Amino acid sequence: MKKINFILLLLISSLFIHSCSEKVKDGIYLIDIYATNDLHGRLFDTLYAENSQNPQIHQNIVHPYSLSSVATFLKNARLNSDRRVVLLDMGDHLQGDNSVFYYNFIDTTSKHIFAEAMNYLDYDAVVVGNHDIEAGPRVYNKIVREMKAPYLAANAIDEKTNKPFFKPYTIVKIDGIKIAIIGMTNPNIPKWLTPDLWQGIKFQEIVESLEYWVELVKTKEKPHLVVAALHAGLGTTEDNSIENPARFVASNVSGIDIVFAAHDHRSTAEVVYNGDRPVWVMEGGSRASSLSHASVKIGISDGQIISKNIEGALISMREIEPDKEYNNYFKESFNNIKAFTNTHVGSLTKSITTRDAYFGPSEYIDMIHSLQLENSGAEISFVAPLSMDVTVKAGDLNFQDLLNIYPYENQLYVIELTGEEIKNYLEFSYSKWINQMIDNNSSLLQLNIGGRGDRGRFKNIFFNFDSAAGLIYEVDATKGDGDRIMIISESNGHSFDLKKRYKVALSSYRASGGGDMLELGSGIPKSELEGRTVERLSDIREMLYNKLKRDGSITPERLNHWKFVPENLVKRAAVKDYIILFGE
C-alpha cells in the first residue's frame, strides 16, 4: 500500500512539474488589464438619501459613475472573445461611503458588501490601502476570508513571522501567459493611523520591498509580464517619496512592465523611461471615475517572448450606464444601507460649508473645534477641512449628512505641546495654505491653476490646512514662512506662553504624524509622538452623533478666534480666489 502511494505521489509530482514548465503555445496573446483605485465605497450610483439637507445630494442623487458603471463596462469587455481580461483594484475601498461603513461597523455578521462586489465582478487581485487598514483588523481580516481575490500588500510585514501579513503577489495565468501582480500598500500608515489598527505589522518602503519581490518573482515564477500594483501616489521620477513613489518606481526599479498607482486621486496614463525601456504608469482618479487600462499584446515563438507591446489609457466611466443586473443582485444590501442612511439623527439650525474655511473662521470648522474642546477638556483644538467643497443646509440631518460633515474614521486625541510647538505647528500649516502677498495682484491661497479634482486645485492638500481654536491669533499674509503667526492670547484672555505646556485636541490622524505637522512643524521626532499623547477618546463622528441625539440640534457659530491680516488686502484677494475655486 505504501509503495502504491509512493508511486502515485511520484506520478502527481511529475505531472505537476511538467504542467508548470509546459511551453506556451506560439502565437499572439491579447490581454486587457483594467484597474480601479480609491473606490472609497462608491459601489452604487446613489447616495441612498431621501431627506438629506445637503443640496449636492439633491443635485446628484445619481452619481455619474460608480462600480455599477464598471460592471456594465466589464460585461461588454468580456464579450470580446479575442481578448482576455484581468481586473485589479489598487486600494482605499473600505472608507468613504455608507455602503462600506454599514458593513464595517453596523452589520458585522453578514458577508461584507465589498468582498461580495469583488467576487461578483471576478476581480483577480485587490491591493490594501491605508484607509482599508483604518477600518481595523476585524474588518480587513474579514475581507481576506470572504474575498476570492487575494488581498495584496508585500510590504506589510508580520512582526512575529517576518513574512508578509497579507499575500505579497499573485500570478494570473491566461492561456499559459503568466502575469505577476505584486501589491504594495502605503508605508506611511504608522504616521497616519493609531497602532491598534495595525498592531503586529511593520511597513517597509515601497522601492526597497519591490526590488526584492520583483527579483524573487522573476526567478521563481518566470512571468511574461510584471505589474507593480501600488497604493501610492504618483510623485516624480527623481524623488523616492515614501508616500508617492509611483513614477520613481517606474524609472528606477528594474523588471517592471506596468505601474498602477492610487492614493493621491490623480488621473494619468503616461510612459516613464527606465533607461531606454518604457514603463506605463496609470492612475484613474477616484470613486470609479475612470478605469486604468493596459492593452497588452505578447508574441510567443518557440516558447519565448518575441514581442511585447503595451498601450495605456484611462477610460472614463462618466457616460457608462449602471448595470441593472449588478444593482439587482445587491438590492437587499442596498435597501439595508438605505434604511440606515436615512435614520434621523438631529438637525442643524444654520447651514455650513467648507468653502468659507479657506478664507478665515467658518461655522463648519468651528463646529468641529467646539465639539473637540467640549469632549476633551483641552485648551486648544486643531482642525482642517476634510472635504474640499461640501455644504450642508440647515434642517433635519440623517446619517448621510454626518458622513458628509465628517467623512473619516478619526478618534479624538489629546496631546501635550509647548506654546512654541503650537506656534511652529501653525506656521507650518499656513506655509502650505497661503502665499506671501506682495500687492493687490497677489493671490491669498496657494492655488494650482488648471488643476483638476478636489485635490488638484490647491498646490498642497486641503485637509492639511489646520487652524486653531482656543487661541486668539492673526496670520499676516504679507510675511514669509515661519513669520506669519502672531498669537495674542488664549481665548479666555490669559496670556499665551511659549514655554507653557498645553493640552491640545486633534484627530488621531494628526496625532499619529499625518500631514507632518508635528514632525516638520512642531519639530517633534516621530519616536516621541506616542509619549505626547495624554488621552485617546472615541470617534469624532460618533461624538457629533451623540451630541445631536442628546441635544436634538446644533447651532454652528463662528468662534472668530483668528483672522488673516491686513484685512483689506486679504479681502480683495479672497474674492478672486473664491471665484477661481468655486465660480461666481
Per-residue pLDDT of 229-251, as tens digits, reads 999 999 999 999 999 999 999 99
3-state secondary structure 53-65: CCHHHHHCCECCC
Neighbouring-strand partners of residue 308 = 298
Helix axes 331-341, 113-120, angle to 10 degrees: 150
Relative orientation angle of helices 540-551 and 363-376, to the nearest 10 degrees: 90
- Dihedral pair phi/psi, residue 281, rounded to 5°: -120, 130
What's the pLDDT score for residue 94? 97
Pair 121, 74: CB distance under 8 Å: yes
Q: Are strands 501-507 and 411-418 parallel, antiparallel or unpaired?
A: antiparallel
Q: Tally the C-alpha atoms within 13 A of residue 552's C-alpha that lie toward its C-beta.
A: 0
Domain 23-337 sits in CATH 3.60.21.10: yes
Tell me whether strands 258-260 and 277-284 are parallel, antiparallel or unpaired.
parallel
User: Which H or E run contains 10?
Assistant: helix 2-20
Residues 6+ apart with CB under 8 A from 575: none
CA distance 340 to 321: 26
- pLDDT of 60 reads 41
Total count of residues recorded for the chain: 584
- What pLDDT sits at residue 23? 83
Q: Residue 292 corresponds to which cell in the numbers above?
A: 486604468
Q: How far apart are CA 206 and CA 162, in angstroms?
A: 16
What are the phi and psi torsion angles at 430 (to 5°)? -75, -20
Q: Where are the domains of the chain?
A: 23-337, 344-582
Q: pLDDT tens across 444-465, in order?
A: 999 988 766 556 589 999 999 9
Angle at 208 between CA 207 and CA 209, to 5 degrees: 90
Name the residue among 188, 288, 287, 296 with its Cα closest to residue 243.
188
3-state secondary structure of 522: coil
pLDDT for residue 12 = 36
| pLDDT score for 1 | 39
Report CA dihedral (215, 122, 24, 225) to the nearest 10 degrees: -30
CATH of domain 344-582: 3.90.780.10
3-state secondary structure of 307: strand
Pairing relationship of beta strands 562-565 and 380-383 according to DSSP bridges:
unpaired
- Give pTM, 2 decimals: 0.83
Spatial contact of 411 and 539, defined as CB atoms under 8 Å apart: yes
Q: Which of 558, 417, 429 is nearest to 484 (CA)?
A: 429
Q: How far apart are CA 213 and CA 224, in angstroms?
A: 15
Which stretches of the chain score pLDDT less than 70? 1-22, 49-62, 451-456
